Amino acid sequence: MKRVLGLIALSLFGFTACAVEPGTTGEDGTSNDEEVSDIAPTASGKAILPVRGAMNGAGTVVTTGNGIINHGGPIMSSGVNVYYIWYGAWAGNAATTILTDLAKSIGGSPLNNTNSSYGVPNTVIYKGAVNDNYSNGTTVTGKKLSDAAIFTIVKKAIAGGGFGTTAADPNGLYFVLTSKDVTASSGFCTQYCGWHSSSLMDPATAQTIGGVDVKFSFVGNPEKCPSGCAALTAGPNGNVGADGMASIITHELVEAASDPDGSTWYDSTGYENADKCAWTFGTTYTAANGASANVHLGTRDFYIQRNWVNAAGGYCSMSY
């Protein structure tokens, strides 16, 4: 099934309500029935997290039952094994430590447990990382990755054996994480901040590897366009790229786990779970460096968007 999911718009007119966790307030102090977002789909071959403030006048959030319907496809029923592919120039960047800490600590957390409302186990295991030093080229054109090139990067990383095997992991989610000098030709910074896909979701640009339906994700570096893809100009870990990517990675992680092939959990307008809460963060607190944060994972504070809990009528939350 080929589609792009969830285009958020924050506008002065035509708001539609996004349910929030009962008894909480939004990051701006609004009450449950005042926090708003307007989300509308477009059509393409992957599930995207759009840029902040993207304007689209179409549609409203449609809620049926708890808000999201099971269409019969698979989930990642054994949990998710996370693999990072650091593409581009990452040497000396603390993001490699910050985001590795995220992957190591999100499994078993109350935040990731929101996905249990879709039957997904609260299990995320970080399996390792490889570095890709611009295998697509270092020219301006080479640093503009097509969707096909992104999947080729995934294939090369697996085939190279850097993850300890040359076989694709059927329970794996392979993240291509790009440095700030790299973009994506299908719309990074202008249409989206990240996306997830799979061999079965987007057969035009992907194929199975050894018969495995490979799940993969592109997450660009918000340092390239902080106004569009960084939720904060100064985050709790003091790294604009990593702090912004943490929320995008989590968005794609929960969606890929509950709807890996675009055929399982989504609502009647096509929104997956994270889409229904895109760019909303709920109750916040002040981290040690003075920045806003809303969740503590492992030894770090993060500012990560909420996820849709598909229970009790449905609501956006940081826990379940």
pLDDT higher at 30 or 243: 243
Read off the pLDDT of each residue in 196-213 and give the average, rounded to a whole number: 90
Determine the Cα–Cα distance for residues 191 and 64; give it in Å rounded to an integer: 28
DSSP-derived pairing of the beta strands 285-286 and 80-87: unpaired
Q: Which of 203, 202, 195, 205 is nearest to 151 (CA)?
A: 205
Determine the Cα–Cα distance for residues 257 and 272; give it in Å rounded to an integer: 11
Per-residue pLDDT reduced to its tens digit, 14-33: 223 344 444 343 333 333 32
With a cut of 50, say whether residue 275 has pLDDT above it: yes
Give the rounded percent of residues in the chain with a pLDDT score beyond 90. 78
- Partners of 145 in beta bridges: 184
| pLDDT at residue 6, as a whole number | 33
Of 95-104, 172-181, 195-204, 304-313, the least confident: 195-204
Per-residue pLDDT reduced to its tens digit, 255-264: 999 999 999 9
With a cut of 80, say whether residue 267 has pLDDT above it: yes
| pLDDT at residue 106, as a whole number | 98
Looking at the whole model, is its pTM more than 0.75?
yes
What residues have CB less than 8 Å from 182, skipping those under 6 apart?
87, 88, 143, 144, 145, 220, 221, 224
| pLDDT at residue 81, as a whole number | 98
CA 41 to mean position of chain CA atoms: 16
Determine the Cα–Cα distance for residues 286 and 272; give it in Å rounded to an integer: 30
Residues, the chain, total? 320
Give the rounded percent of residues in the chain with a pLDDT score beyond 70. 82
pLDDT higher at 8 or 176: 176
Kindly report the average pLDDT of the chain as a whole number. Answer: 85
What residues have CB less than 8 Å from 46, skipping those under 6 apart?
2, 4, 147, 195, 196, 197, 201, 202
| pLDDT at residue 226, as a whole number | 95
Quickly state the pLDDT bin for 45 (edges 50, 70, 90): low
- Partners of 296 in beta bridges: 301
| pLDDT at residue 191, as a whole number | 95
Per-residue pLDDT reduced to its tens digit, 165-175: 999 999 999 99
Other Cβ atoms closer than 10 A to 310: 26
Quickly state the pLDDT bin for 243 (edges 50, 70, 90): very high
Determine the Cα–Cα distance for residues 11 and 56; give it in Å rounded to an integer: 9
Angle at 301 between CA 318 and CA 178, to 5 degrees: 95
Per-residue pLDDT reduced to its tens digit, 70-125: 999 999 999 999 999 999 999 999 999 999 999 999 999 999 999 999 999 999 99
